[in-house]
Amino acid sequence: MVTARTLNEVVRGADAGVNHYLNPETMHPDIPEDGDLTAGARSLVEFTGITTIVAIGPFDDHAHAQQLASAFITVRRHCEVHLVLLGTGRQRTAVKRQTSAQGVGSSVHVVGDSCDDRWSDLIAAADLVVLGSSSGTAMLLDVLAAGRPVVAPADPATVQLVVPGIVGLVYQPGDVSGMAEALLRLVTTPVLRHGMGGRARQVARRHHREKHRATTLR
């Protein structure tokens, strides 16, 4: 079973001020590129077979915290699923409190406030990742490099990378039903998640190569 103790042994949170941008060419060298990245990462971080959503902070926006909690409550009522809050911010407590009030708090796990070198393992072990409006493009690219499908806010920079329906789904801030629908669709459709995850790595790899090319041309 996924517990707060197990998660904290793997990673002690994420420092939102650190750029974790990963080179997808070298990420997880111990796991073959065409192998089952999720299975390999799960064996490293001891995740169970229960579908796991990782939400990335910072959790400073009260409205986003309420939206995330409400959407997860809806999803949890339909199926067995875990939510891991990865990142800093006082509103993590609000998510935990709101979900606990609705009887699903035991499915929500909060990790600590500092990052270690297994941050990427935790992301790769997730079935899908939720980003907030403050997560940033660099963090989104980290997630895509890990081959994870995303549920992300519908802002121009995000949509350009996600291309809704290609590597993930988007939601409008404040639209609880829209976020819940996106989460539930990915949670209940493994084939869709797998396809999006494969394309996510391709997007991250292409972005990395373009960034490297632009740097060498300077």
pLDDT of 169-181, one tens digit each? 999 999 999 999 9
> Could you tell me if residue 31 is inside a domain?
no
Q: Where are the beta strands (DSSP E) in 132-214?
A: 150-153, 168-171
> Could you tell me if residue 85 is inside a domain?
yes
Burial label for 118, CB within 10 Å (0-12, 13-18, 19+), is middle
Range of the domain at 89: 4-24+38-172+188-216
Residue 34 has pLDDT above 60, yes or no: no
Residues 65-88: what's their mean pLDDT?
94
Residues 38-57: what's their mean pLDDT?
71
Q: Where are the beta strands (DSSP E) in 16-74?
A: 52-56
Q: Tokens representing 25?
A: 């060419």
> Could you tell me if residue 32 is inside a domain?
no
| Residue with the larger pLDDT of the pair 58 and 68 | 68
pLDDT at 41: 54
Distance of CA 39 to the CA centre of its chain: 16
The CATH number that applies at residue 210 is 3.40.50.2000
48-to-3, 95, 127, 152 alpha-carbon distances in Å: 10, 22, 11, 25
Cα separation, 75 vs 203, whole angstroms: 28
Residue 214 has pLDDT above 90, yes or no: no
Residues 68-87: what's their mean pLDDT?
94
- Tens of pLDDT, residue by residue over 88-119, are 899 999 999 999 999 999 999 887 654 555 67
Read off the pLDDT band of 47 (50, 70, 90): low
- Tens of pLDDT, residue by residue over 140-164, are 888 998 899 999 999 888 888 888 8
pLDDT at 213: 58
> Could you tell me if residue 120 is inside a domain?
yes
> Could you tell me if residue 158 is inside a domain?
yes
> Could you tell me if residue 181 is inside a domain?
no
What domain count does the chain have? Answer: 1
> Could you tell me if residue 178 is inside a domain?
no
> Could you tell me if residue 177 is inside a domain?
no
- Given a contact cutoff of 8 angstroms between Cβ atoms, the answer to whether 46 and 6 are in contact is yes
pLDDT at 82: 92
pLDDT at 111: 77
β-strand partners of 54: 84, 129
| Residue with the larger pLDDT of the pair 111 and 61 | 61
